[in-house]
Structure 1
Amino acid sequence: MPQINQLAENWFFASQLFWLALIFGAVFVVIGLGMYPKIEATVDARDRKIADDLAAAKAAHASADGLEEQYRQQSDLSRAAAQKAVQDAKDKAARDAEKRLAKVDAELAEKMTAAEADVAAARGSAMAEIESVAAEAASELVAKLSGVKVAAADAKQAVKAVLHG
């Protein structure tokens, strides 16, 4: 075979090594010096971008934690203020209720005093009327039974002595 016979000749083998070295050199120059730096720069840029994004995410997380803590503190302060306002409103309502109750008690005491005075006046008036009616009845009874006429003043005095005596 003629192809195998060519391998024995040195010039053909040296020619193949030349072309191999030439093509390898061209590939090295194109890929190694042209494409690889661009790929490496892209990978480095991606790594920097990822590192920057991670740092930004950590900073955002720390900022969010700070905001959350501020929110919790503000919420606690607002809750405490609301509880104080509720307690103040309860205290004020209790004081207002006590004032109204005291006012109503005073009004009832005044009405009770006035009613007792009215009852005492009515009792006094009734007792005076009863005394005068009893004195008239006693003087008429004495006049009918004994036939003696008793003076009105004496009859009133006798009735007072019996009733109060």
Structure 2
Amino acid sequence: MPQLSQIGEIYASQLFWLAIVFALIYFGIGKAMVPKIERTIDDRTARISGDIAAAEAARATAQASETEYQTGLDSARSQAFKAVTEAKARATANAETQVKAGDAEINDRIAAATSRIDGARQQAMTDIETSTVDAVQDIVAKLSGVAVDRAAIEKQVKVELAHG
């Protein structure tokens, strides 16, 4: 076989060219491509680190803003509670003042009505006494034909009315 007989003659030449091709590939990839890939990886790592730092800064800012917001919200709640409490106190005081004024007015009306009732009762009692005295005087005069002293009749009617 002629292919096998040439191996000895071309063997060294093929190994030489194999070494040159591998050296070219090694130096082409190792010296030209690997630094570009490393630069890209370093750039990407730096960009990711920068993005992470920016995200951390944004998160810290957001937390500070949230803390400030919560503080403001708590302050607003306490002020609102204080305002509501003060308004309740004012409303209660106002209501108590109005109730006291109403009570005073009602007491005045009751006193006036009681006075009017007492006056009307006195007037009614006086009218009843007068009517009773007149009726007794008329009845005694008609039944017995005797004229009785009005003062005696008034005295006796007062005694009877006092005992009920």
Q: TM-score range by the shorter chain?
A: 0.7 to 0.9
Root-mean-square deviation (CA, aligned residues, Å) is: 2.7
Structure 2 matches for 1:150-165, cutoff 5 A? Answer: 150-152=148-150, 155-160=153-158, 163=161
List per-residue Cα deviations over 1:47-86 (Å, max 9, x = no partner).
1111112212222222222222223222322332333333
Q: Partner residue of 2:78? A: 80
What are the equivalent positions in structure 2 for 1:137-152 lying under 5 Å apart?
137-152=135-150
C-alpha separation in 2, matches of 1:52 and 1:76: 36
The CA distance in 1 between the partners of 2:144 and 2:15, in whole Å, is 181
Q: Structure 1 regions of 5+ residues with no counterpart?
A: none
> What SS is found at the alignment partner of 2:6?
helix
User: What residue number does 2:40 align with?
Assistant: 42
**Structure 2 residue ranges without an equivalent (≥5):** none
- Equivalent of 2:17, from 1, 9, 19? 19
Give a deviation string over 1:91-120, Cα, whole Å, max 9, x none. 333223222221221121111111101111
- Normalising by the residue count of structure 2, what TM-score does the alignment of the two structures yield? 0.78
Question: Does residue 82 of structure 2 align to residue 96 of structure 1?
Answer: no
- Taking the aligned partners of 2:58 and 2:121, their CA distance within structure 1 comes to 91
The corresponding residue for 1:6 is 6
* Residue 135 of structure 1: how far off its partner (Å): 2.0
Q: Distance in 2 between matches of 1:77 and 1:64?
A: 19
CA distance in 1, matches of 2:159, 2:16: 165
Q: Which residue of 1 aligns with 2:121?
A: 123
Structure 1 residue 129 displacement after superposition:
1.0
Deviation at residue 152 of structure 1 after TM alignment: 4.2
Match of 1:59 among 52, 57, 60: 57
**Higher mean displacement: 145-154 or 106-115:** 145-154
**Which consecutive aligned stretches of 4+ in structure 1 deviate over 6 angstroms post-superposition?**
none
The number of residues matched between the two structures is 163
Once the two structures are overlaid, the 10-residue window that deviates more, 39-48 or 154-163, is 154-163
Q: Distance in 2 between matches of 1:116 and 1:97?
A: 28
Matched, 1:114 2:112: yes
